[in-house]
Structure 1
Amino acid sequence: MISCSSDKENRTTEVISPNKKVKVQFLLSATKQPSYTVRFKNETVIDTSKMSFDLQNALSLKGNFEILKTTTNAFNETWKMVWGEDEEVVNQYNSLKIELQETSTLKRKINIIFKVYDDGIGFRYEFPKQENLSEVVITDENTEFNLTGNHKTWWIPGDWDIYEYLYTTSPFSKINAFKDYIPGSHLGQTYIPENAVNTPVTMKTDKGLYLSFHEADLTDYAEMTLAVDTVNYNMKSELVGNAKGKKVIRKTPFETPWRTIQIAEKPGDLIESKLIVNLNEPNTVDDMSFFKPTKYVGIWWDMHIGTGNWDYAGENHSANTKYAKELIDFASENNIHGMLVEGWNIGWEQWWDKKAKKVHFDFVTPYPDYNLKEVVAYGKSKNVELIMHHETSADITLYEKQLDTAFALMKDLKIHAVKTGYVGSVIPEGEYHHGQFMVNHFQKVLEKGIENGVAINAHEPIKATGKRRTYPVAISREGIRGQEYNAWSEDGGNPPEHLTIVPFTRMLAGPIDYTPGIFNTSLKPYKENNQINTTLAHQLALYVVIYSPVQMVPDLIKNYKNNPAFQFIKDIGVDWKKTKVLDAEIGEFITVARQEKSTENWFIGGITDENARVVKVKLNFLVPNKTYTAKIYKDKLDSHYLHNPEVYEILEQDVNSKTILELNMAAGGGFAISLIPKN
């Protein structure tokens, strides 16, 4: 039975979650403007927050509304993920739909739908088909999130082009998106028009409650950043626009994306939540048998550490047939079934320099030293699938002209995955990476993937919003300050705390192609002034902590050969039956356990920030009365991410569901465990 009540005279109505802990109240203000509040266990977590739209050449949709009708519903289903963190997902919520109409002459209509889950809420706007609102040009969506205090916040700037920032930890009142912003300091064009944050943005209240704000089902609409009022502890949706000031252009009827608030009493519950995927439509792809979650090697890290070049005119063009075959051999020998080649196609000589007007990528023509068909055939003979690479340099006009031929080539060669890239400012000029134009472009690429049996791993992407449920060809994406920054940055690269924050922010949106597994963390002799700020054991743990159905094994072959730690990478799964966050504190440490879908094997990964710590790992999730062999890859007592990062030890012991492991993590360190049932 739905918990719902309404008071037409006071213009309020409310709906409560199935477990009765989360309550949403909708109300019309004195000026009859739509507003809402959110309570958790009878404590207000979102105070009265207004909702309105500013339109081009039309009056704002703001006040003078009346409630025509309210509809409630209870829903409960269990659905299976094609691939994912958990095999089965429970989707249970109570919903409330409010149909509104202006009391003024135009009598324009808008509906607001709330879905209230045990772990948070989602709400969206519906614009019905109507005579006085046929085409809508939104210049601002004014959805407020009125906080109840100066929460501890983990955030990145609300950049309209790129997400590749380190997370800042600060009180909400200290958010300053402009603090470290240097225009033109990155290959990705950047633009931050106001003090705003990108989502997911995560917070911890003084009472220890965790909140994360994001959006779900971003379709034919602009991305939402959140402008911050640091004095009044308020956030307001700030849509990404274009140079003409238009943010969304739609014809009625249409729906906006869901605005989401995850609510948790433990940080790990944010990760285990399925709110974002549940707010998307069911799978529309009839047959996904062409894609299998996999690990993959590649011609990629060479370019970042300087042992090879992307462009054919360079001193050492790495994307050649000989090297590709060496990687295929290595993959085939080590339970790795994918291989990526970057720099294979003509056009790389000035790909970053649009001012040269010579960026003409061809997505079907290889360089002379790379025999694409030969490499594909050789890989198939070794049970290793080629992963195609399309770097577009954000020239969308050029890429969309070649989409048909590029995907037809992959279909003809039976290549079933592609990594796309969008470095630089968008062509056509005046559009931004996170605006409606690019949202629709990424949708076109997904549709081409479905049509041709190709899974998409997008880099420099639009953020994930759970559409992988509807379109499971959207296997992974970047949208994060990744491993490559450690090779680029002489100022220290990513600090140890970076990946203790990412699971509770960026990863709440969806899978991450982070490229873990670098064993030569010192980067010597290639990058003497750079380094990776983790221990080797930490790098192993990332295969469990950071989720993706495609996980790269990126280091040079020689750094893996004859290294006993490589056994964990050979053993680790990539598709999961269950995921559990065993213990965590955002920005400090996290321990995650995942059970492989196709076996009874479990894997555990734990990482810490720059502080060494001892953690206790309870194995009470294992099958009772069953013995497992635990192989533990951990830091040594003298390990340290700066001074002694590559030393580790391997321990082996029998364990069961009553076992509690006590493990030390060095500064910047971690541990990785495989748990294999005996007999």
Structure 2
Amino acid sequence: MKIKFISLLIIAVLYSCSKENAKILDVSSPNKAVEVNFNLNGEGKPFYTVRFNNKTVVDTSYLGFDFKDVDDFEKNFKINNTSTSSFNETWQMPWGEQLDVVNNYNELKIELQENNETARLMTVVFKVYDDGIGFRYEFPEQANFKGDIYINDEHTEFNLTEDYKTFWIPGDWDIYEHLYNTTKLSEIDALQFANHKNLAQTYIPENAVNTPVTMVGSDGTYLSFHEAALIDYSGMTLKVDTENLNLKSNLVGSENTDYKVKKTVPFNTPWRTIQISDNAPDLIESKLIVNLNEPNKLGDVSWFKPMKYTGVWWEMHLGKSSWDYGMTQDMSTWTDGGKSHGRHGATTENVKSFIDFSAKNNIGGVLVEGWNTGWEHWIGFEDREGVFDFVTPYPDYDIDEVTRYAKEKGVEIIMHHETSAATETYEKQQDTAYALMQKYGMHAVKSGYVGKILPKGEYHHGQYMVNQYNNAAIKAAKYEVAVNAHEPIKATGLRRTYPNIISREGLRGQEFNAWASDGGNPPEHLPIVAFTRMLSGPIDYTPGIFNIKFDEYKKDNQVNTTIAQQLALYVVIYSPVQMAADLVEHYEANPEPLQFIRDVGVDWQQTKVLNGEVGDYVTIARQERGTGNWFVGGITDENARTIDLTFDFLDDNQDYEVIIYKDGKNAHWDNNPLDITIEKIDITKDSKLSVNLAEGGGFAMSLKKI
């Protein structure tokens, strides 16, 4: 990866001030729109405020810590020193939404010391960008505060100045697979979802929200709260004070300890982030989260190639086949004394059919789920340790033949590791499993962590599991393996530091349309996701379902979009691995819309968000690396609308051939989801175009130079 440093300006300004003579300290973004002020109150409690376009958006918000066995860090501080600096670089993504990323911020560093005999030290660092802020706590090496430190919780506040319209999911310690709610900040009630019937492993102990949580103000101010560089720490939820419009950090804990985080001084916390904009599209274009992470530590990762993929996955959710080899569909009883029941999906023959289809249709990979032994006891059993074997295939899956055939066809097999959240079993087998992948030339693995975490008492988003996810990916890089994690910890921009962290689930995905009893994901789901979950990083949402109703398998379920929106998702919902998720026969029955999946890129030179509003609609244009071709995707919620497009992102004096895949005149996500119109036109940079989107609909466009 090539890194270009444009400029680095360091200006150090030292202050010496006591609690009685504290000065207001401030730092502004390079364009002066975002301003952070820091100070201590009369008790020596540190606090900050944030202004955007000369308006206070975060008022007096206190900072501090609740420690176990030692005095808290909350008050009685003095400011020893402060320093400011400016930084400006352009770095390059080895894969991503764009090639060049500008990392330009002004920094304020405040060195605090307790004003007592202990005199412990803590530094607060603010980085202020044009698109928001990040701040973190740093604990330097010191004589009076050393060794292991046990954190009960942070006292990081975000004190808001308005009852914002808020798009949120509950602060669940185990999953992110909730539908988004749209309420005022003062109306958030997360505890109502504590016993969700479709989410067996949910745990919501407080009226809190998970991040990213996005808000829209009455004056068109947009805020999104999250965190960056989550390493060896607990995930942060935000506890909501509905009366005072206050958010406060609430770290994910464990039943096995009487603290939430264990650290050793010196250490830094993750960055606490606020993305700030006066328009919704800029939230998506922001690179604040990745910029707050350290540069690439892996070096050359060209062994991973962004790709589209098919696979043995959707058919199991439909009930056409099963993951297990010797049990019935509901995985509750043995049949034939443990012999195959004949419904196993990951057979040599079936996988070869996906390889053939992928090779014919410009699709680079095939995912194979259910290939390895252990699926008979993977869920619903109290003790799942030792169940899965990550190197031993079922009798009807010839891994040697499958990988040979795939290589012959120019297709890569994507490995699948379902851990069933049995972490010790996976740890013990990781080296062997990754070595097997390396032997067969497999460079991508989809990992899963379904179920309650083992050891008992741990949660998916606590410090224990943060380390599990991160360490698995770091180890995978040694074997040239990239990780697409499901049931994961949240994305926090670590893909910059470890570019083999390629994608993850971390939301209510496509499979809920196949088996949830609550009607699946409503049409508004993805227009919210684009401005919430997607701000944190790539999403493996598995688009491309053509058989919208799937009456052949499940008459009571369906995908709640039009087929045109399923095409649009390849552009709108970003991931460097994009699945063509439907069955081969459903694609072969619809060759015209399939052409867009054949053509669409997956790795981008640049991205432009053309328009959008949180929860309503969004239109995104992306230029493919290498070819220079552009692709545009637009989606809407349950409301039909007309999108007006201009093309000023195209090259001057150049004609483009455009294929438009759009909702037909009578299209509707429920009544007529397969109504699609495909047109060819020519355009230039000066062209204008209006596209009608049906209820729950969308459109996709490919633009190639003539």
Q: Which residue of 1 aligns with 2:5?
A: none
Q: CA deviation at 1:3?
A: 12
Aligned partners of 1:634, 1:171: CA distance in 2, in Å? 34
Q: CA deviation at 1:401?
A: 1.0
Q: CA deviation at 1:354?
A: 2.5
Instruction: Pick one of 81, 84, 91 that aligns with 1:72.
Output: 84
Aligned partners of 2:383, 2:73: CA distance in 1, in Å? 45
Instruction: Pick one of 309, 333, 341 that aligns with 2:368.
Output: 341
Q: Which residue of 1 aligns with 2:4?
A: none
Instruction: Pick one of 268, 275, 291 that aligns with 1:262.
Output: 275
Q: One-letter code of the match for 1:509?
A: S
Secondary structure of the residue aligned to 1:404 is helix
1:18-29 aligned within 5 A: 18-29=30-41
Query: Is 1:476–2:489 an aligned residue pair?
Result: no
Query: Is 1:598–2:633 an aligned residue pair?
Result: no
Query: Is 1:416–2:428 an aligned residue pair?
Result: no
The answer on whether the counterparts of 1:4 and 1:16 sit within 8 Å (CA) in structure 2 is no
Q: Which residue of 2 aligns with 1:247?
A: 260
Contiguous gaps of at least 5 residues in structure 1:
none
Secondary structure of the residue aligned to 1:178 is helix
Query: Is 1:326–2:339 an aligned residue pair?
Result: no
Q: One-letter code of the match for 2:107?
A: S
1:553-564 aligned within 5 A: 553-563=580-590, 564=592
Runs of 4 or more consecutive aligned structure 1 residues displaced over 4 Å after TM superposition: 1-8, 356-359
Q: CA deviation at 1:46?
A: 0.4
Aligned partners of 2:506, 2:269: CA distance in 1, in Å? 22
Secondary structure of the residue aligned to 1:600 is coil
Aligned partners of 1:171, 1:156: CA distance in 2, in Å? 13
Secondary structure of the residue aligned to 1:303 is helix
Q: CA deviation at 1:178?
A: 1.4
Secondary structure of the residue aligned to 1:113 is strand
Query: Is 1:429–2:441 an aligned residue pair?
Result: no
Instruction: Pick one of 532, 535, 556 that aligns with 1:505.
Output: 532
Residues 626-655 of structure 1: CA deviation (Å, up to 9, x unaligned): 100110000111010111001101011000
Q: CA deviation at 1:353?
A: 1.5
Instruction: Pick one of 20, 23, 45 that aligns with 1:33.
Output: 45
Secondary structure of the residue aligned to 1:329 is helix
Aligned partners of 1:22, 1:3: CA distance in 2, in Å? 21
Aligned partners of 1:183, 1:467: CA distance in 2, in Å? 31
Q: Which residue of 1 aligns with 2:226?
A: 214
Secondary structure of the residue aligned to 2:367 is strand
Residues 366-422 of structure 1: CA deviation (Å, up to 9, x unaligned): 000001121111111111001000000000011111111111111122211100000
Aligned partners of 2:43, 2:665: CA distance in 1, in Å? 65
Instruction: Pick one of 49, 65, 70 that aligns with 1:53.
Output: 65
Aligned partners of 1:254, 1:567: CA distance in 2, in Å? 51
Q: CA deviation at 1:583?
A: 0.6
The answer on whether the counterparts of 2:14 and 2:83 sit within 8 Å (CA) in structure 1 is no
Q: CA deviation at 1:181?
A: 2.9
Q: Which residue of 2 aligns with 1:575?
A: 603
Aligned partners of 2:46, 2:517: CA distance in 1, in Å? 50
Aligned partners of 2:298, 2:533: CA distance in 1, in Å? 26
Q: Which residue of 2 aligns with 1:651?
A: 679
1:422-501 aligned within 5 A: 422-501=449-528
Q: CA deviation at 1:575?
A: 0.2
Query: Is 1:109–2:142 an aligned residue pair?
Result: no
The answer on whether the counterparts of 1:339 and 1:387 sit within 8 Å (CA) in structure 2 is yes
Q: Which residue of 2 aligns with 1:351?
A: 378
Instruction: Pick one of 161, 176, 182 that aligns with 2:189.
Output: 176
Aligned partners of 1:498, 1:657: CA distance in 2, in Å? 32
Identity %: 58
Instruction: Pick one of 134, 137, 141 that aligns with 1:129.
Output: 141
Q: CA deviation at 1:11?
A: 3.7
Query: Is 1:146–2:153 an aligned residue pair?
Result: no
Q: One-letter code of the match for 2:617?
A: F
Query: Is 1:544–2:557 an aligned residue pair?
Result: no
Secondary structure of the residue aligned to 1:317 is coil
The answer on whether the counterparts of 1:280 and 1:467 sit within 8 Å (CA) in structure 2 is yes
Aligned partners of 1:356, 1:626: CA distance in 2, in Å? 63
Aligned partners of 1:618, 1:176: CA distance in 2, in Å? 41
Moved more, 127-136 or 151-160: 127-136
The answer on whether the counterparts of 2:49 and 2:61 sit within 8 Å (CA) in structure 1 is yes
The answer on whether the counterparts of 2:13 and 2:82 sit within 8 Å (CA) in structure 1 is no
Query: Is 1:399–2:426 an aligned residue pair?
Result: yes
Aligned partners of 1:436, 1:302: CA distance in 2, in Å? 35
Q: CA deviation at 1:509?
A: 0.3
Instruction: Pick one of 277, 302, 307 that aligns with 2:320.
Output: 307
Q: Which residue of 1 aligns with 2:336?
A: none
CA RMSD of aligned residues (A): 1.4
Q: CA deviation at 1:358?
A: 7.6
Contiguous gaps of at least 5 residues in structure 2:
1-8, 328-340
The answer on whether the counterparts of 2:503 and 2:577 sit within 8 Å (CA) in structure 1 is yes
The answer on whether the counterparts of 2:366 and 2:412 sit within 8 Å (CA) in structure 1 is yes
Instruction: Pick one of 637, 647, 671 that aligns with 1:609.
Output: 637
Q: Which residue of 2 aligns with 1:295?
A: 308
Aligned partners of 2:191, 2:572: CA distance in 1, in Å? 31
Instruction: Pick one of 624, 630, 639 that aligns with 2:667.
Output: 639
Q: CA deviation at 1:576?
A: 0.3
Q: CA deviation at 1:490?
A: 3.3
Q: One-letter code of the match for 1:302?
A: E
Instruction: Pick one of 281, 289, 294 that aligns with 1:276.
Output: 289
Residues 337-372 of structure 1: CA deviation (Å, up to 9, x unaligned): 101000000000121122265860000000000011
Q: Which residue of 2 aligns with 1:16?
A: 28
Aligned partners of 1:457, 1:636: CA distance in 2, in Å? 35
The answer on whether the counterparts of 2:15 and 2:80 sit within 8 Å (CA) in structure 1 is no
Aligned partners of 2:64, 2:518: CA distance in 1, in Å? 44
Secondary structure of the residue aligned to 1:525 is coil
Instruction: Pick one of 647, 672, 675 that aligns with 1:619.
Output: 647
Q: Which residue of 1 aligns with 2:695?
A: 667
Residues 566-590 of structure 1: CA deviation (Å, up to 9, x unaligned): 0000000000011011010111111
Q: 1:307 to 1:567 in 2, by over 3 A?
A: same
Q: One-letter code of the match for 2:99?
A: E
Q: CA deviation at 1:185?
A: 4.1
Aligned partners of 1:107, 1:365: CA distance in 2, in Å? 58
Aligned partners of 1:3, 1:660: CA distance in 2, in Å? 50
The answer on whether the counterparts of 1:515 and 1:553 sit within 8 Å (CA) in structure 2 is yes
Residues 35-73 of structure 1: CA deviation (Å, up to 9, x unaligned): 000001211010010001010011111111111111111
Aligned partners of 2:453, 2:555: CA distance in 1, in Å? 34
Moved more, 411-420 or 382-391: 411-420
TM-score scaled by structure 1? 0.98
Secondary structure of the residue aligned to 1:531 is coil
Aligned partners of 1:402, 1:330: CA distance in 2, in Å? 32
Q: CA deviation at 1:624?
A: 1.6
Query: Is 1:383–2:410 an aligned residue pair?
Result: yes
Aligned partners of 1:349, 1:291: CA distance in 2, in Å? 32
Residues 71-125 of structure 1: CA deviation (Å, up to 9, x unaligned): 1111000000010001100000000111111011111110000000011000000
The answer on whether the counterparts of 2:241 and 2:247 sit within 8 Å (CA) in structure 1 is yes
Aligned partners of 2:63, 2:381: CA distance in 1, in Å? 41
Instruction: Pick one of 245, 248, 273 that aligns with 1:233.
Output: 245
The answer on whether the counterparts of 2:86 and 2:107 sit within 8 Å (CA) in structure 1 is yes
Q: One-letter code of the match for 1:246?
A: Y
Q: CA deviation at 1:5?
A: 11
Q: One-letter code of the match for 2:432?
A: T
Q: One-letter code of the match for 2:290?
A: V
Query: Is 1:676–2:704 an aligned residue pair?
Result: yes
Aligned partners of 1:610, 1:165: CA distance in 2, in Å? 19
TM-score scaled by structure 2? 0.94
